[in-house]
Amino acid sequence: MAQVSNTFSTYQSNRLREEFANAIYMISPEETPALSLFPRENTVSKHPEWSTDTLATPSTTNQQIEGDDYAYSAIVATTRVGNYTEIARKTYVITGTDEVADKAGPSSELGRERRKKGTELKTDMEVSLLANKASVVGTDSTARQTGGFAAWITSNDNRGSTGADGGFSGGVVTAATNGTQRAFTRAILDNCILNTYNSGGNPTIFMCSPYVKTVFSSFMQGANTSTIYNSVRGEEQATIFAAADTYRSDFGVIDIMPNRQLARAGATLARNGYLIDLSKVAVGTLRDIFEDRPAKTGDAEKRAILCEFALLMKNQAAHSIAADLFGLTSAT
């Protein structure tokens, strides 16, 4: 049917109000599992240091003659290690007019940006703490950098072929050398857990990219894996179990924790899985997250959100890394 001649419709009207939702919808993931789980400690300098030590290897020949005089063993000094704090920041500037103008969504642009930039700062900190990056002492023209989790691990690493350790040496942490990427397997996970247990660690978390988590869930399809089914009674809907969140290993229960920030940061971060003992790692904060308000130099409000922090790797032998995994897809 055709419209009646001279009908006035919305297409001719210039008096219709615009409809603009009074909300802003953000999809980007904002969880920061490592930053949330790692214990916090205050530091008092830009170069926090600590000591590590190990027990002597158990001996089967510690039998002594009755009445024998003592022979005194040499004392082995502890190992002194440390990291450097890095300064992370997010900045924004809003004109005075924009701040007071009526707008859809939050009434204050300053408040909205404060929340958004604060979240972005935390996600930057998250990936920086876990990254395979060296520590940098810094100068007046070079930013300090904290050595990341993946760079520290040398005792219990499981790397692809051609991969090589970084680790702490000469007062700084050096980055590991990436190896050939490979598929994540149960054998890799079991090897990391076994080596960490033998070293004295008690890890409770395996943190990985979302894709690696899906590979872990496929382990329950293996021939040597027990499968548990829920009974279905009456008219209850059946449930398909296609995922697993916990791994009961020979040496304790490990929670498998996907970290979406590893995937968001790209293949460089997603290629590593982290077996973590929370009692042997912390986030050191010299300056916790705060908002700075620089002096006004015009008709605008300037803001900066900053944090100065460091990864405190109490003893790298308490942890492990499954490195060089396909972390985004079956081939990347």
Question: Quick one: pLDDT at residue 5?
Answer: 77
- Collect the ranges in the chain with pLDDT lower than 70: 6-8, 10, 13, 16-28, 222-242
Distance, first Cα to last Cα, the chain: 56
Q: Which residue has the tokens 């404060």?
A: 114
Question: What one-character DSSP code corresponds to residue 148?
Answer: P
Please report which helix (H) or strand (E) contains residue 80, including its range: strand 79-82
Strand segments (E) across 111-239: 157-158, 167-169, 172-174, 205-208
Main-chain dihedrals φ then ψ at residue 218, nearest 5 degrees: -75, -15
Give strand pairing partners of 49. 82
Sign of the CA dihedral 286, 291, 293, 298? positive
CATH of domain 33-51+79-223+242-322: 3.90.1690
CB 192 within 8 A of CB 184: no
Its pTM surpasses 0.85: yes
Question: What one-character DSSP code corresponds to residue 58?
Answer: P
Show Cβ contacts of residue 190 under 8 Å, excluding neighbours closer than 6 positions. Answer: 249
Domain-wise residue ranges, the chain: 33-51+79-223+242-322
d(CA 216, CA 322): 13
